[in-house]
Amino acid sequence: MPNSVVKAASLSKTFGKFEAVKNLSFEVREGECFGLLGPNGAGKSTLMGMLYGVNLRSGGSLGVFGLDPATQSRAIKKRLGVVTQDNALDDGLTVEENMLIYAAFMGVPAQERRKRVQELLEFMMLSHKKDGPIRFLSGGMKRRLVFVRALLGNPDLLILDEPTTGLDPAVRHLLWGKVRELRSRGKTILLTTHYMHEAEILCDRILVMNKGENVAEGSPAQLIEKFSPGFVAVFEKNTDSEKEKALAESMQLQVHEDSSGVYFRGNKFETLLDFQKQVGRIAAQLRPANLEDVFLKLTGQELNSDA
């Protein structure tokens, strides 16, 4: 069994009378990509703050590398690499100048800094921009450079906080490939994301939080099989939606509605084809159930970029 990099037991955090995190237990194992999902107010940011030692827990226990963030946050931070939501790069410097400064800040020995920066720029396919000013980089290049910065100290735990938000599909897929490569090299990764497909393809295990609690945990396949097996048809809302819902219930289909449409789920694909025929219109989507369906069922909410 791999060692635990992060381990929480009955963890709680209160702000006055408000319970932001409630009796939360989980662990992140060495060498895995662990996903943390939840809607607005789920407690994700509070939990992340406790990992860094910014928020002190109100109860329970929390260890990162076997250290207590409440008293040993400095030692923990030395072993972390964080891809933050904001790029926070110095536009007045070149790519290499930026990274050399961060390498010094991260404690990389002076004789190793330039080589380390060059290796990581090559890894993230940015070596050709080494002498270019930050302000001339595209949004995707800046995001890749934030990955370089996070990796400079060769961290034992890489935290990816919404790493692909706002990126076009080509850059997103490039970064997914790099994350997979880092995991294959043995890196432990903690990922927060609002892209369900991203979590589904990158994460070994996922923790779904809602209102400060652990509502589900497991591999993407386990969560889908447990909470939303089968197939899903997604229809746009129309004036006959209530009639369609009644028909769906008579056919033993589960129904969920949100701002994006009406979801009908059944165990058999053929049942959804029959339902589609009876309602007389074509579904916008007709597919196997996925992690997004699990999330909607567990939280009753869509997960968007504000989550």
Quote the mean pLDDT of the chain: 91
Q: What is the pLDDT of residue 301?
A: 63
Q: Is the pLDDT of residue 305 over 50?
A: no
> CA 226 → CA 25, 195, 218, distances in Å?
20, 20, 10
> CA 171 → CA 128, 137, 241, distances in Å?
17, 13, 38
- How confident is residue 88, by pLDDT bands cut at 50, 70 and 90? confident
pLDDT (tens digit, 9 = 90+) per residue, 121-136? 999 999 999 999 999 9
DSSP 87: -
Q: Is the pLDDT of residue 113 over 60?
A: yes
Q: Are the C-beta atoms of residues 66 and 27 closer than 8 Å to each other?
A: no
Q: Is the pLDDT of residue 246 over 60?
A: yes
List the domains of the chain with CATH numbers.
Answer: 1-79+186-218 (3.40.50.300), 228-294 (3.30.70.980)
Q: What is the pLDDT of residue 302?
A: 52
Q: Is the pLDDT of residue 137 over 60?
A: yes
Distance from C-alpha of 273 to C-alpha of 198, rounded to nearest angstrom: 28
The dihedrals phi and psi of 165, each to the nearest 5 degrees, come to -60, 130
Distance from C-alpha of 113 to C-alpha of 2, rounded to nearest angstrom: 31
The model's pTM: 0.89
pLDDT (tens digit, 9 = 90+) per residue, 274-295? 999 999 999 999 999 999 899 9
